[in-house]
Structure 1
Amino acid sequence: MSKTLIFQDANLVRYLELLQVLVTRNLKVRYRGSILGIYWSLLNPLLMTAAYTTIFGMAFLKYYDNSLVNYMLEVFAGLVVINFFSASTTQALTSVVCNGGLLNKIRLPINVFPISMIAANVFQFVCGSLPFLVIATLVTSQSLINVLALILPLLSLVCFCAGVGLLVSALFVFFRDLPYFYELVVSLIWFSSPVFYPIEIVPANIRPILALNPLTWIIGSIRQIALSGELPDLSLAGTSLLTSCVILAVGCKLFYNWRSQFMDLL
């Protein structure tokens, strides 16, 4: 038993070391020659927030206590979630196939490639957008409890993206047209998430359909914790976390079941 545990610990250490190497490589390749580097991940939602506020701010003002600041903060919170999802899962999609040559030469855990893409985006998020969210939470709620509670919806977001990333990276091995189809899926998820519009303008009979989108729950939880000024709604955060864990479990299971067929196709 002790030898088995030692062997498992050694495998975990090697996996984490490999993950660190891949995350570092991904970030260096992504931002080689860039001036702002990982801070592009913050500049993008800031510029998009300004654009949405200019176009839609006055139209939706009554849903945000007649405050443009409230609208801007809610849009920013939605954008950082949808941008993280779009970037991390799209990059994870091609990660296994793009490293097929390496996998044919060296025996490596295949799932480390999509996971490394998710992890690289987590690092980018922590350095870029997260400090802004923490500051907004402190100013709005004036409570460290709310700051700590942000961990729950953010963990939900990571789990959801990891599950989707594992699933699409496995499917791409079999279906090479998947990136074109996935672009449409991401666009559909984007517009079905209440990022730049209030959920109240959606007809009541359509809202249950939007509720099927896990990002709707995650965005709602982040906004409730960071921007409402109230104590965290654990039922909302718990629902988003449970849903994301189920999707992660499904993604892991399917990736594990299909991985034996990968090498013949890479």
Structure 2
Amino acid sequence: MTLTLKATTKAKFGCSSIQRYYELIHVLVERNIKGRYRGSFLGVYWSMLNPLIMTGIYTSIFGTIFASYYDNSIVNYVLAAFTGLVVINFFSASTTQALSSVVSNGGLLNKLKLPISIFPVSMVIANVFQLLIGALPILAVVTLWNSKSLINLGALLFPLIALTLLSTGIGFIVCTLYVFFRDLPYFYEIICFVLWMTSPIFYPAEIVPETVKPFISLNPLLPIIESIRQIALSGDLPNIHYMGQALISGLIFLFLGWSVFRWLQDQFMDLL
């Protein structure tokens, strides 16, 4: 791995920094995917196992109760639960892996001069690759089936881009904090659980009491989940408000995460 990165960093004369950054990301993403699924029969499709199993469990327990909120259709409830699980699983996996990415590569950073940001970014991109191969084709088929519209199919990319931006921003924040606070993974598990429970995954948003809704609305995953469901399941044209809210939220967190990362990264090497 070290030799590969050394070869990558020795770019030819005139090679732009963007190209070098891309090459390093490519190496790390490839290492991540191959290392994670080496010798596996299903490969990246194992990432689909969790949302499928959880969808089945939620449907068996809550499907009949909540079907009335989804046009009295168990199928619609299944698709809504699956959509929410895809979002929360992507977010949890991407940000949790990004959290430890800088610290776990501290030895490499002490040997080579590398842009530190490639490590959290590569973790998010590796999960984007899994999403494109696994869940996205299913969401695309569902969208075409319900909407019969290529507009909806294209619009499906916008909340997924928002999800990627949000995960990258949070990834920058948590990987930065972990350099200074090594107890963060235990605390972050609680945060992910709170986000899971406050996201309308296995329950419809309509059942949330009015007194609780202001707190639920602070969940940055909420507009992303609602936007994907509206585009893929409603059969209506994309709701610009949902998409805009999701993208703005993603961009805000990306800006905040990158600002925190850039502000503190000069102190990293003393602690790695």
Residue 22 (structure 1) aligns with: 28
Q: In structure 1, how many angstroms separate the alpha carbons of the residues matched to 2:208 and 2:121?
A: 35
CA distance in 2, matches of 1:191, 1:125: 22
Considering only aligned residues, what root-mean-square deviation do their CA atoms show, in Å? 1.1
| Correspondence for 1:153 among 154, 159, 175 | 159
Aligned partner of 2:251 in structure 1 is 245
Offset at residue 37 of structure 1 (A): 1.0
Counterpart-to-counterpart distance in 2, 1:77 and 1:250:
27
Specify the alignment match of 1:45 in structure 2: 51
- Residue deviations 1:132-183 (CA, integer Å, cap 9, x gap): 0000000000000000001110010000000000100010000000000000
Structure-1-length-normalised TM-score: 0.96
TM-superposed CA distance for 1:258, in Å, is: 0.2
CA distance, structure 2, for counterparts of residue 232 and residue 57 of structure 1: 26
- Following the alignment from structure 2 to structure 1, what is the Cα–Cα distance between the partners of residues 57 and 215? 27
| CA distance in 2 between partners of 1:41 and 1:234 (Å) | 30
1:177 aligns with 2:183: yes
State how far apart, in whole Å, the 2-side matches of 1:98 and 1:231 are. 45
Q: Structure 2 residue aligned with 1:130, among 133, 136, 139? A: 136
**TM-score, length basis structure 2:** 0.94
SS of equivalent residue, structure 1 residue 58:
helix
Query: 3-state SS of the aligned residue for 1:91?
Result: helix
CA distance in 2, matches of 1:50, 1:172: 35
Matched, 1:93 2:99: yes
Match of 2:174 in 1: 168
> 164, 189, 207: which one pairs with 2:195?
189
- The aligned counterpart of 1:4 is none
> Residues 95-110 of structure 1 correspond to what in structure 2 (within 5 A)?
95-110=101-116
Match of 2:206 in 1: 200
Looking at structure 2, the residues matched to 29 and 256 of structure 1 have their Cα atoms a distance apart, in angstroms, of 29
1:43 Cα offset (Å):
2.3
State the match for 2:122 in structure 1. 116
Report what 1:255 is aligned to. Answer: 261
Of 78-87 and 58-67, the range deviating more from structure 2: 58-67
CA gap of 1:133–1:249, structure 2 versus 1, over 3 A, is: same
What one-letter code is carried by the residue in structure 2 that aligns with 1:99? Answer: N
Gaps of 5+ in 2: 1-12
**How many positions carry a matched residue from both structures?**
260
Query: Partner of 1:80 in structure 2?
Result: 86
The answer for the alignment partner of 2:237 in structure 1 is: 231
- Matching residue's letter, 1:84: F
Q: Which amino acid aligns with 1:187?
A: F
Give the aligned residue type for 1:85.
F
Distance (whole Å) between structure 2 residues aligned to residue 8 and residue 215 of structure 1: 41
Match of 2:221, SS state, is: helix
Superposed displacement of residue 8, structure 1:
9.2
